[in-house]
Amino acid sequence: MSCIPAPYARRLLLATFLGAALAPASRAGDVVIYRCTDASGALTLQNAPCPKGMKQEQRTLQGVNTVPMAAANSASPPTTAQMQPATPTRPATQEPAPAAPAAAADAPRLPPPVLFQCTTYDKDTYVTEDSEPASRCVALRTTGLDGNPQGGAGQACEVVRDTCARVPDGALCDAWKKRRDETEVAWRFARRENVDRNRAEYERVARILSESDCGE
């Protein structure tokens, strides 16, 4: 025999009814519940007759026709995606960079630009890229009115142009090397205010020579 206090009476009735409803049999047996009240008014519910001296109320719960319920957690058929095995993914690999095109063969070097060899009035020679001969003012001796050179007054000069000729193609490389050497001397022995300008000219001439078919 089991006794249940009054606060749990309703829960017991509900649980008993549900238990009978969920039973797998087609017809559950009747369930008898005894409601017992003692002298102090305390209420208990039990499945056996009340003890002597207690007020007893008897209730019979009829069984309920039930149908067995399908399992709630029956496994559903696997979907197509679940049936197919997962395809292993290949690790991402970096595609190799395309090979750089082979360096083009060096273009044939060309002859250097033309040069001119010039001679000054005093027989000095030099090479230049300018086809126009340079002009110079050559000082003249002056004399006095009496013809005395010591008594001359003032200054005078005569404009003289250098004589220039185009350097033959066969001698062009040697002429450019001479031109390079001249510009190097002019740079290394220049006045301070002319150093940067003369150095830039030397580097330009040296680059022309090295990039031509005269390159060393």
- To the nearest 10°, the Cα dihedral for 190, 193, 194, 197? 140
- Is the confidence at residue 68, as pLDDT, over 50? no
Q: What is the pTM of this model?
A: 0.45
For the chain, the domains span: 3-61, 116-211
The model's pLDDT over 79-116, given as tens digits with 9 standing for 90+, comes to 554 555 555 555 555 555 555 454 445 678 899 999 99
**Alpha-helical regions (H) of the chain:** 9-21, 80-83, 172-188, 195-211
